[in-house]
Homo-oligomer: A and B are copies of this chain.
Amino acid sequence: MNTGMSSRLDALRERLGGIAFGGDYNPEQWDRAVWDEDVALMREAGVNLVTVGVFAWASLEPSPGRFTFEWLDEVMDLLHANGISVDLATPTAAPPVWLSHGHPEVLPVMEDGEVFGFGNRMHYDPTSPRYREHAARITTALAERYSHHPALAMWHIGNEYGPVAYTPSAAAAFRAWLRRRYGDLDALNAAWYTTFWSQRYTAWEQVNPPEEPRSWSNPARRLDFHRFASDALLECFVMERDIVRAHRDDLPVVTNFMRFHRGADLWRWAPHVDAAALDIYPDPGQPDAHVAAALNFDLMRSLRGEPWLLMEQAAGAVSQWRVNHAKRPGLMRLGSYQAVAHGADSVLFFQWRAGRGGHERFHSAMLPHSGTRARTWREVAALGAELPRIAAVAGTGPRAEVAVLFDWNAWWGLEVTHGLPRNDFDYPATVTAHYRPLLEAHHAVDLVSFGSELGRYRVVVVPNAYLVDDRCAAALEDFAAAGGTVLCSFFSGVVDEANQVRQPAYPGAFGRLIGAWIDEYLPAGSSFGVRFAGGRTVRADWWQERIHPTTASVVASYVDGDLAGWPAVIADGRVTYIGTRLEPEALRDVILGAVAAAGVQPVVAGAPSHVEATRRGRFLFLLNHSPAEAVTVPADGTDLLTGRILEGAVTLEPLGVAVIEVP
């Protein structure tokens, strides 16, 4: 955990005196009379921070350059008068119709050539100079007017940066980005391997975004376009951030990241924000949605090595899926504590009051359509009353000895190019499959990137890292050479940053690391048995490799199928390589065995796998994800939520939580 935390986020924490609680507030949707009820109920619920203005551009600048800040002045004053701090948003994620109607070139063109028009939101091309000019103007006007308003506690730039455009503007920006990356066309042609299929470029203006969603376009070109698209969005963020910083530079400036969002390489974004901030909507219809949630929470913490902000979650149902399940009683509270348990210093919702119209009219809110008589309201208010009991948690962090590699370049390599032995890889799912046993065995886990410092860890897990850069390869070799434990799963190290097969093949980057060479990658159509040295036989499927150990020894071998007798899992010192997709229990045993051998201790011992356990400093979080069964876990200290002194154990109700200050 980073000990030198962001001073700007420190200031916010001090201002709020503990965990931030609140949500998006859209007063522009309601009559003035409703505002008074809003703030009264916010106080009743313990709200101390609201995000204002995310979608208010049309209300703030109804025609180009004409600003109507009066209503926002009143909102800011009213909130301040009631002791509620404001996370003020630049409204640039949803340009008003006069901008896109007057300047259609600000609209993105999608991969299939269709214009993404006005009528939804996110209808902007991030590379459009016209869009950026107008975004800068409204941001400047907001900064000028509100930088020193006493309610202002934080800036929220844009919203869920996501648009990708295939416009002439994007093509020009892509070319400029490529020139910076490669310098000249020869380097581009070499990286993109353009001798294949006669694709050599002879002039920069021939280079375009890969518009053809249905065809097999150059895989390096697709990869670079994804890198570029992430950077183009980051430029938009930085532009607005710099504007508000120019007016006042002691406030945190953030934007809300999205769960498993392939479009933004957050390792590149992290240095540019004052805190990682996450929007997350685990599907209540999925019984184990909390596992991927935990991974995303750990990722947020790992991005900057410090506490982060839960910026949006739902009080109940969302409105984005075909079937939108609600959260059963207790689940919203459990999910909120889960975020805090993994390092969040806030519990914020989208949104405060349920809207009457628009696409999200059935997206849940802290204050539902049914008002204060609603079950959800009661749970929200109870949580708001309870959170101050754990105020001391804010600012603390865990210490993880296990790291899991999660890098956008690895993701893009597996998913955005074609022509792999299998083309149904799901990178978030495979990382989650490797992360899950660690979570369920109550280990603290950090996520790491290609460029992360590994020296602080004892174990590094490398799931299906088909594409790795040279830094990553070197770092892992160094880590292993220094006695670190590495668990690497199949089809890793194969290509370089340009998606070119490394030589000598295979596994390219990891040949020395794993102590073997691989003749063939073999997708499997059915399952097969794998026998471990100790005699136990498990099942595996989906993938095999013809592995030739050089310095490694065989840990497990195939007992049937085309590769009967060949190695399935090998180990070279503390480096284990898993050449197939083991059934979950077997993967768990391999991972936990290596973790135990590395001397890593879990946060708690003796808790079942559906109980989550994390530490933040001296605070132990226990969360029971079973909706049906209570569970008793060994623990000592004071349960902050009940105030009880524990005598060796704590009982968690179904969906129950304990936050224990350990002696």
Contacts and interface: CB of A to CB of B under 8 A. Distances in A.
Interface stretch (A196-204, A383-391, A404-412, A645-653): A196-204
A457 interface: no
A506 B355 CA distance: 14
A206 B361 contact: no
A374 B519 contact: yes
Number of copies: 3
Interface stretch (A296-304, A392-400, A477-485, A495-503): A495-503
B29 A522 contact: no
A362 B420 contact: yes
A352 to B, nearest CB: 14
Contact of A198 (B121, B192, B328): B121
Interface in A308-343: 316-317, 319-326, 328
Interface stretch (A39-47, A80-88, A144-152, A421-429): A421-429
B424 A212 contact: no
Interface stretch (A218-226, A585-593, A629-637): A218-226
Nearest to A29: B195
A520 interface: yes
B217 A119 contact: yes
Nearest to A321: B423
B322 A58 contact: no
A216 B358 CA distance: 9
B501 A361 contact: yes
B195 A421 contact: no
Contacts of A602: none
Contacts of A115: 113
Contacts of A363: 419
B198 A56 contact: yes
Interface in A280-315: 285
A98 interface: yes
Contacts of A535: none
Nearest to A61: B198
Given A112-B114, A113-B114, A376-B520, A58 B370 contact: no
B356 A323 contact: no
B324 A58 contact: no
Nearest to A222: B119
A218 to B, nearest CB: 6
Nearest to A100: B206
Interface stretch (A89-97, A229-237, A239-247, A439-447): A89-97
Contacts of A500: 356-357, 361
- Report which residue of A112, A195, A212 has the largest number of chain B beta carbons within 10 angstroms of its beta carbon: A195
A359 B216 contact: yes
A520 B354 CA distance: 13
Contacts of A371: 504-505
Contacts of A505: 368-371
A424 B316 contact: no
A368 B357 CA distance: 54
Q: Interface extent on A, as a size class?
A: 35 or more
B519 A375 contact: yes
- Report which residue of A57, A97, A196, A328 has the largest number of chain B beta carbons within 10 angstroms of its beta carbon: A196
- Report which residue of A119, A357, A361, A525 has the largest number of chain B beta carbons within 10 angstroms of its beta carbon: A357
B506 A120 contact: no
A519 B369 CA distance: 8
Contacts of A417: 359
Contact of A58 (B58, B200, B320, B361): B200
A215 interface: yes
Given A119-B221, A523-B324, A101 B205 contact: yes
Contacts of A117: 208, 211-212
Contacts of A91: 198
A517 interface: yes
B59 A29 contact: no
A55 B206 contact: no
A70 interface: no
B101 A358 contact: no
A360 interface: yes
Nearest to A211: B117
B358 A55 contact: no
Interface of A: 26, 28-29, 55-59, 62-63, 91, 94-98, 101, 112-121, 192-203, 205-206, 208, 210-212, 215-221, 285, 316-317, 319-326, 328, 354-363, 368-371, 373-376, 417-424, 495, 498-501, 503-506, 517-523, 525, 546, 562
8 contacts: A97-B201, A121-B197, A323-B422, A326-B521, A356-B500, A357-B498, A368-B520, A371-B505
List 9 tightest A-B contacts by C-beta distance, closest first.
A193-B357, A196-B358, A369-B505, A319-B419, A119-B217, A94-B198, A120-B215, A58-B200, A58-B198
Given A29-B196, A317-B523, 18 more contacts: A58-B200, A63-B202, A91-B198, A96-B198, A97-B199, A97-B206, A118-B206, A120-B212, A120-B217, A193-B356, A196-B360, A216-B359, A285-B523, A358-B419, A359-B418, A368-B519, A369-B501, A370-B506
